[in-house]
């Protein structure tokens, strides 16, 4: 039976992260979202690792179970939610005559391997106690080698791979290929993470990624953002970490849930301080020098993909089938589904911020009655949604399923805006997108 996994999150020990990010709250919100397997995040942080060891128990499968009594007020069956030891590491170093700043995800199958890896980094004088996402001066290739020495079942995945400042393919400090970065160890990089500013189809354009899994996770810094991107695995959850590892290694994931990449904060090229934003077509005509301040623009993900892509969009032959986007020419590629978070839909109906108590109350009412956010967004009949929360919220879910949205792409650190209601005249830069698709698909 397939399960949903969000394996890139953070704990309260990471900078700019919610203090609510602890095991009891994570269990609670995983239930609300419809997530079956969560990454722990930040396992290298000494205090968080100690907490994880006291609150999560190994069951021999490589997945971890919350210890008895850890769910808040006993409201949930803890055994339903599994955890995997995960951490994001920021590597800042010089390589091949350039400064590099690359973020990588590391997954470990057990506490023993995690501790071996932790000791190896400490021996390299890495400072692990100041931030859950540690900044180290260790090159990505050396980091991969140390992780593999800790466990041959390490999963090492470049995170948010197109982000200009911290992605492996980023325009500001990344590489033009995995091989340029990892050299003789490239074969051990079994997958890459799309990040919020790209979707799988953008990554399908890179031939080097043809034999690697394209995975998506939330990079959540707060509880409501869990599951905004996630990966669906076909394996039985009882197959544990080994099944997950094999699925990524052999490109056998079922599909991914995607944030609209335009909503990511580095989708287009531009300068936020100068209010300059270019599409890839405009960048070709106008260049990457800011017309206001004369400095270089932050080259966005779309422009960077165009720069190093091995094939065109037309060569992919994408199609939208039952709400799932697939490639007609690369059948081995897992499909994906674009969604807008439920609390964002509710907030637009209520004309208020997604973080308000009013939105949270309505959100919890819906997911408690109808079986989790992901199920509501992909499967639940909109008539059922209307009975609980009214016609407008039901209409919003329907519009998201059809892709009938108004989008203003993000750039240079400014998040894009996805609106459920509105028309092209609402904002000059917004594009109206409509894709008629049936309601069901990936999660049937």
Contacts of 273 (CB under 8 A, 6+ apart): 293
- Tens of pLDDT, residue by residue over 212-229, are 999 999 999 999 999 999
Distance CA 162, CA 299 (A): 10
156-171: per-residue pLDDT in tens?
A: 999 999 999 999 999 9
Contact 56, 256 (CB under 8 A): no
Question: Of 315, 340, 336, which Cα lies nearest the Cα of 400?
Answer: 340
**Across the strands, what pairs with 193?**
215
**Per-residue pLDDT tens for 166-199?**
999 999 999 999 999 999 999 999 999 999 999 9
Contact between 229 and 194 (Cβ < 8 Å): yes
Nearest to 173 by CA among 90, 271, 98: 98
pTM of the complete model: 0.92
> Mean of the per-residue pLDDT values for the chain?
91
Domain ranges within the chain, ordered by starting residue: 3-263, 269-299, 341-409+419-433
From CA 195, how far away is CA 159, in angstroms rounded?
A: 7
Helices and strands per DSSP (H, E), number in the chain: 15, 20
The three-class DSSP label of residue 320 is strand
Give domain 3-263's CATH number out of 3.40.190.10, 3.50.50.60, 3.20.20.140, 1.20.810.10: 3.20.20.140
Residues 88/41, Cβ–Cβ less than 8 Å: yes
CB-based contacts of 352, cutoff 8 Å, min separation 6:
358, 359
Region 306-319: mean pLDDT is: 91
pLDDT for 68: 65
The pLDDT value recorded for residue 62 is: 95
Which of the four pLDDT bands, split at 50, 70 and 90, describes residue 80? confident
Burial grade of 317 (CB within 10 A; 0-12, 13-18, 19 or more): exposed
pLDDT of 320 higher than 90:
no
Residue among 175, 171, 115, 163 nearest 139 (CA): 175
pLDDT tens figures, 372-395? 999 999 999 999 999 999 999 999
Residue reference for tokens 């039901």: 394
The SS3 assignment for 21 reads coil
Q: Is the Cβ–Cβ distance between 316 and 329 less than 8 Å?
A: yes
Q: State how far the alpha carbon of 222 is from the alpha carbons of 21, 26, 100, 352, in Å.
A: 7, 10, 28, 19
Token code pair at residue 19: 């203090």
pLDDT > 90 fraction of the chain, expressed in percent and rounded? 86
Q: How far, in Å, CA of 192 to CA of 247, rounded? A: 13
């Amino acid at each position: 039976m397939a399960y949903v996994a969000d394996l890139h999150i953070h704990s309260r020990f990471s900078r700019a992260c919610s203090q609510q990010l602890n095991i009891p709250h994570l269990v609670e919100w995983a239930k609300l979202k419809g997530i079956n397997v969560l990454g722990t995040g930040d396992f290298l942080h000494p205090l968080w690792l100690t907490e994880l060891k006291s609150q999560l128990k190994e069951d021999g499968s490589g997945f971890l179970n919350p210890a008895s009594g850890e769910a808040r007020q006993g409201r949930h069956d803890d055994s339903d939610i599994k955890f995997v030891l995960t951490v994001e590491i920021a590597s800042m170093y010089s390589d091949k005559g350039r400064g590099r700043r690359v973020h990588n995800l590391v997954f470990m199958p057990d506490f023993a391997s995690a501790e071996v890896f932790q000791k190896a980094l400490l021996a390299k004088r890495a400072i692990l106690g100041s931030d859950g996402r540690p900044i180290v001066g260790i090159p990505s290739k050396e980091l991969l080698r140390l992780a593999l020495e800790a466990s041959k079942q390490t999963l090492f995945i470049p995170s948010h791979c197109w982000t200009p400042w911290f992605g492996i393919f980023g325009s500001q400090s990344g590489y033009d290929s995995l091989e340029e970065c990892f050299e003789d160890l490239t074969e051990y990089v079994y997958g890459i993470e799309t990040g919020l500013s790209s979707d799988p189809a953008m990554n399908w354009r890179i031939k080097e990624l043809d034999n690697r899994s394209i995975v998506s996770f939330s990079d959540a810094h707060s509880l409501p953002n869990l599951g905004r991107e996630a990966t669906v695995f076909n394996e039985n959850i009882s197959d544990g970490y080994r099944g997950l590892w094999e699925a990524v290694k052999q490109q056998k994931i079922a599909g991914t849930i995607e944030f609209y990449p335009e909503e990511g904060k580095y989708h287009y090229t531009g300068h936020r301080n100068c209010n300059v934003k270019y599409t890839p077509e405009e960048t070709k005509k106008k260049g990457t020098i800011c017309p206001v301040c004369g400095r270089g623009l932050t080259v966005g993900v779309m422009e960077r993909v165009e720069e190093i892509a091995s094939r065109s969009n037309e060569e992919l032959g994408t199609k939208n089938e039952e709400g799932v986007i697939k490639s007609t020419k690369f059948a081995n590629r897992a499909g994906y589904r674009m969604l807008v978070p439920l609390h964002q839909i509710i907030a637009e109906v209520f004309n208020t911020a997604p973080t308000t108590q009013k939105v949270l109350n309505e959100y919890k009412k819906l997911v408690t009655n109808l079986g989790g956010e992901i199920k509501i967004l992909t499967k639940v009949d909109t008539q059922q949604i209307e009975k609980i929360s009214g016609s407008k919220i039901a209409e919003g879910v329907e519009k998201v399923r059809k892709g009938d949205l108004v989008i203003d792409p993000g750039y240079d650190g400014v998040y894009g805006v996805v609106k459920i209601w509105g028309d092209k005249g609402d904002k000059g830069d917004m594009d109206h997108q409509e894709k008629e698709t049936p309601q069901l698909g990936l999660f049937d």
